[in-house]
Amino acid sequence: MPRFFLTTAIDYANGEPHLGHALEKIGADAIARLHRQLGYDVHLLIGMDEHGQKVAQTAEAQGVPPQQFVDNIAAIFQAMWARLGVRYDQFIRTTSPEHKAAVARLIEQIFAADASLPENQRNFYERSYTGLYCVGCESFKQPADIVDGKCATHPTRTLEEVTEHNWFFRLSAYTQRLKQLFADNPSFLEPESRRNEILQLLEQGLDDISASRSRFDWGVPFPRPLSNGDVQTTYVWFDALPNYWTARFFPGYADKAAWPANLHVIGKDITRFHTVIWPAMLMAAGEPLPGQVWAHGFISLGGERFSKSAGVKLTLDEAIERYGVDAFRYYLLRDVPYDGDGSFSWERFEEVYNSDLANTLGNLGSRSVAMIEKYRAGVVPAAAPEAELFAAHRVSLAQARAAVDGERRHRPNEVIGALMDVARRTNEYIQRTQPWVLAKDPANAAQLDVVLATLASSLAHCAAWLAPVMPDKMQVLWTQLGGSGDVAHARLDKPIDVGGWHVSKGSPLFPKPETPPAAT
C-alpha cells in the first residue's frame, strides 16, 4: 500500500482559528480522505507553532504563563478541527519536549556535517547583524517596512540601529543547488505561478539568515553557545519548519511520520520558507527533501484578505451554523480553487447550497430513493447500469481521479465539479427515461430495472466520491441507498455494485431553510 504523508502549515498560536485556517485544513483533510479511499496509507500532520516573541508578549499581556497560554490556544484549534471534521492523524506542537529535542538534533546534524567543511563554507557561523529596530514592534524592520525613515506601523517612534551577534545559516551557498532542484523537479512547487516567483528570487541570489536570536527566550535554546558563551534562542526557521521532520520522533509515529513527507500543504504567503529555506536546511543536514510543496491561495471576505495575523471578520461558528459543517466544507472547497484565491459571501454560499446541494444532489437522492421504494419495494434491481450513461460517468470519474493524484492533483474543486456533472447527467437521464411512465406497464419491467439500478449506482458513486468533502452527509446518503458500513471505506478506484441494496427514504439531505437567511 503506497503511503501518503502530508502536512499542513502549523498555525501560529497567537489568536483563534478563522476562515483562512479553515480553508487550508479542510482542503488538506479532503485531499487526505480522497487518498485514503484510493488505497493510500495516509498520514495527515497538523499542529501549532507556539514559540516566538509575539506569543510570549500576548501571553504576558493576558497575565498568563506562555505555556498555559499556548495550551489553551491549542485546545481551541483542536476543538475547531474536530468541529469541522478535519481528521488529522497527528497533532504536533512545537513546545513539546519531543519536538524541542528533535530540533536540537537536526541542528546538531548540520554541525556534524560542518565539521568536515572548511571554515568559510560551514553552514553555521557567527555573525553580527545590524538592523533598524523598532521598539514598537520589537522587531527588526526591512527597507520595505520603512516609510520616511520610520516604521510604517509606528511612525512616531524612532528606529534604532541595533547590532546583534547571532548564529547564521549560510543560505547563500544553496542558490545553485536550489536552482538545480527546480530544474530537475519542477513539480517540487506547485502551482506554477508560485514556482515562477521562487525562480525569480533564486535569480537574485540568496542572503544568509539568522539561526538564533538573543531578544527573546520563548523557544528552543540553540544547542550550541556562541563563542562568547551566550546561549541564544533558536530562530523561527529552525524551530517551526522542522516540525514536519520532528513528527517522527514522537512515540508511536516513527513509521507513520517517517521522513520524507510526500506533500506540504501551505499558504502562498509562506512559499519561500518552504521551498528555499526548508530544502536548504535539509540539504545541509543530509536529509531527503519532501516530495512536493503545494501553495494554496487565500480566501477573502468582502475584499479583505484573511491571513494568519488578520483580524477575524467572520466567525467560523456563524459559517458552520448557517447550513451545517458539511455544506460549509463543500462551499469552501467547491468555490475556492485550491490553486487560486476565492472570496466568501453569504449570497454565494446560499446559491451554491440551493443549486448544488439541495436541488441537484439532494433532490436526485430523494427522487431516486422514492422511486426505488415505490416501484421495487426498496430493493435495488440487480441489473447492470445503463452502459451509455456510465460511459459518460466514467469520463467524469477519471477527471475526478486526475484531480486527486493525476495530472491535476490537489484540486478538490475539480473533484467536486466532476461529481456534479455526474449528478446533473443523472437528473437528465431520469427525465429522458421517465421511470414513472415505465412503471405503468409491467411489460417495461426489465427496462425499469435498468433505470433504477442506474440511479442507485450513480448516487453511490456520488456518495463515495463526495464523502471526503462531506463526510457526514454522504454517510447518510450512503446509508439511505442501502450501502453497508462506513462510506469512508468505499474504494474510489473500484466499481460499486449496488444490486440488492435496500434503500430507505429519510428526511431531505440538504433541506432548504424555512426562512431565507439574513443578508450579509
Looking only at residues 165 through 184 of this chain, which bind RNA when binding is defined by CB under 7 A? Answer: 171
Angle ∠(293,301,263) on CA atoms, nearest 5: 10
Site for RNA, residues 337 to 356, rule: CB under 7 A: 337, 340-342, 348, 351, 354-355
Closest to 219 in 3D by CA, of 476, 438, 512, 12: 12
Site for RNA, residues 247 to 286, rule: CB under 7 A: 268-270, 272-273, 276
User: What angle, 0 to 180 degrees and rounded to 10, lies between the N-to-C axes of helices 471-481 and 363-376?
Assistant: 10
Q: Give the nearer residue to RNA in terms of CB position, either 38 or 430.
A: 430
Task: Based on the shown chain and the rule CB under 7 A, indicate whether residue 189 belongs to the binding site for RNA.
Answer: no
Q: Give the nearer residue to RNA in terms of CB position, either 87 or 379.
A: 379
| Choice from 74, 236, 403, 498 touching RNA (CB under 7 A) | 236
Regarding beta strands 11-12 and 41-49, do their DSSP bridges make them parallel or antiparallel, or are they unpaired? parallel
Q: Give the nearer residue to RNA in terms of CB position, either 406 or 495.
A: 406
Long-range CB contacts (within 8 A, 24+) of 230-233: 230/165, 232/166, 232/167
Residue 424's beta-bridge partner residues? none
x/- contact string, 484-513, with RNA (CB under 7 A)?
------------------------xxxxx-
Minimum Å gap between C-beta 366 and RNA is: 3
x/- contact string, 386-425, with RNA (CB under 7 A)?
--------------------------------------x-
C-alpha pair distances (Å), 501 with each of 22, 29, 467, 494: 36, 30, 19, 17
Do 264 and 290 meet the contact criterion of CB atoms below 8 Å apart?
Answer: yes
Minimum Å gap between C-beta 496 and RNA is: 21
| Choice from 20, 47, 290, 365 touching RNA (CB under 7 A) | 365
Torsion over CA of 161, 167, 172 and 173, rounded to 10 degrees? 160
For residues 147-180, b (16+ Cβ closer than 10 Å) or e, as one string?
eeebbeeeeeeebeeeebbbbbbbbebbbeebee
Task: Based on the shown chain and the rule CB under 7 A, indicate whether residue 520 belongs to the binding site for RNA.
Answer: no
Minimum Å gap between C-beta 459 and RNA is: 12
Site for RNA, residues 290 to 329, rule: CB under 7 A: 305, 307-309
Give the DSSP letter string of 165-224: EEEEE-GGGGHHHHHHHHHH-GGGEESHHHHHHHHHHHHH----EESEESS--SSPBPSS
| Choice from 24, 335, 386, 414 touching RNA (CB under 7 A) | 335
Residue 266's beta-bridge partner residues? 295
Q: Give the nearer residue to RNA in terms of CB position, either 176 or 355.
A: 355
Give the other-Cβ count within 10 Å of 317's Cβ: 10
Give the H/E segment covering residue 240.
Answer: helix 236-240
Do 362 and 506 meet the contact criterion of CB atoms below 8 Å apart?
Answer: no
Site for RNA, residues 73 to 132, rule: CB under 7 A: 129
Measure the CA–CA gap between 39 and 404, rounded to whole angstroms. 12
Site for RNA, residues 206 to 225, rule: CB under 7 A: 206-210
Minimum Å gap between C-beta 402 and RNA is: 14
Task: Based on the shown chain and the rule CB under 7 A, indicate whether residue 428 belongs to the binding site for RNA.
Answer: yes
Site for RNA, residues 142 to 161, rule: CB under 7 A: 142-145
Measure the CA–CA gap between 126 and 398, rounded to whole angstroms. 55
Do 423 and 389 meet the contact criterion of CB atoms below 8 Å apart?
Answer: no
| Choice from 197, 287, 405, 497 touching RNA (CB under 7 A) | 197
Of 101-109, 319-327, 426-434, 457-465, the segment contacting RNA by CB under 7 A is 426-434
Site for RNA, residues 12 to 41, rule: CB under 7 A: 12
Of 99-107, 155-163, 257-265, 360-368, the segment contacting RNA by CB under 7 A is 360-368
Q: Give the nearer residue to RNA in terms of CB position, either 67 or 307.
A: 307
Site for RNA, residues 432 to 471, rule: CB under 7 A: 432, 434-436
Task: Based on the shown chain and the rule CB under 7 A, indicate whether residue 164 belongs to the binding site for RNA.
Answer: no
Distance of CA 352 to the CA centre of its chain: 22
Task: Based on the shown chain and the rule CB under 7 A, indicate whether residue 57 belongs to the binding site for RNA.
Answer: no
Q: Give the nearer residue to RNA in terms of CB position, either 322 or 424.
A: 424
